[in-house]
Amino acid sequence: MGEYHHAIDLKGRLIIPSKLRDYLKDHFIVTRGLEGCLFVYPKQEWDIIIDKYKQLPDTKDRRYFMRIFLSGATVCDLDKQGRINIPVPLIEYANLKKDCIIIGVDERLEIWSKERWDEFISTNEANLSDIADNLFTTI
C-alpha cells in the first residue's frame, strides 16, 4: 500500500520504491491495467490470476480481455539501482511522460501518469463516502 512519486527517464526506467522491492522479489510482470494505468504483479500473484482466467468459459469477452491483458505483459527485473525498464507500448498505453505515481493496491502495484492519477482522484474523491457505503453495506 502507499503512494510514491517518481520520474520515468528517457530510457523508460522507473525507480520502484525500496519498500516495495521486497514484495516484487526477483521477477515480476508488468501489463496493461484498467483506467489507463499499468498493473505490476509479483510472479506468484500473476500465476494465480492466470489460473483463474483459465477457468473462465471461452467467451468473446474473455478472449478480448485476455488478448489485451496478455499481449502487453512483460517479465521484468529490478536493476542494481532498483529501477524497472518499461517497454514503449506500455509507456504509451499509460501515457507516462515524466512524473509517475506508484501505488500499492492489495496484491499488485499500479503505475499511473501523474496527470491521470490526479484526474482519477479529483473525479472520484467526492464519491468516496458513497463508494464505501455501497461496498461495505453488503458485508
Domains along the chain with CATH numbers: 2-136 (3.40.1550.20)
Phi, psi of 26 (to 5 degrees): -80, -50
Query: Per-residue pLDDT for 99 more than 80?
Result: yes
93 falls in which pLDDT band (50, 70, 90)?
A: very high
Q: Determine which of 39-48, 80-89, 129-138 has the lowest per-residue pLDDT on average.
A: 129-138
Query: Per-residue pLDDT for 132 more than 80?
Result: no
Confidence (pLDDT) at 36: 93
Q: Which amino acid is at 97?
A: K
pLDDT tens, 8-63? Answer: 999 999 999 988 888 887 789 999 999 999 999 999 999 999 999 889 999 999 99
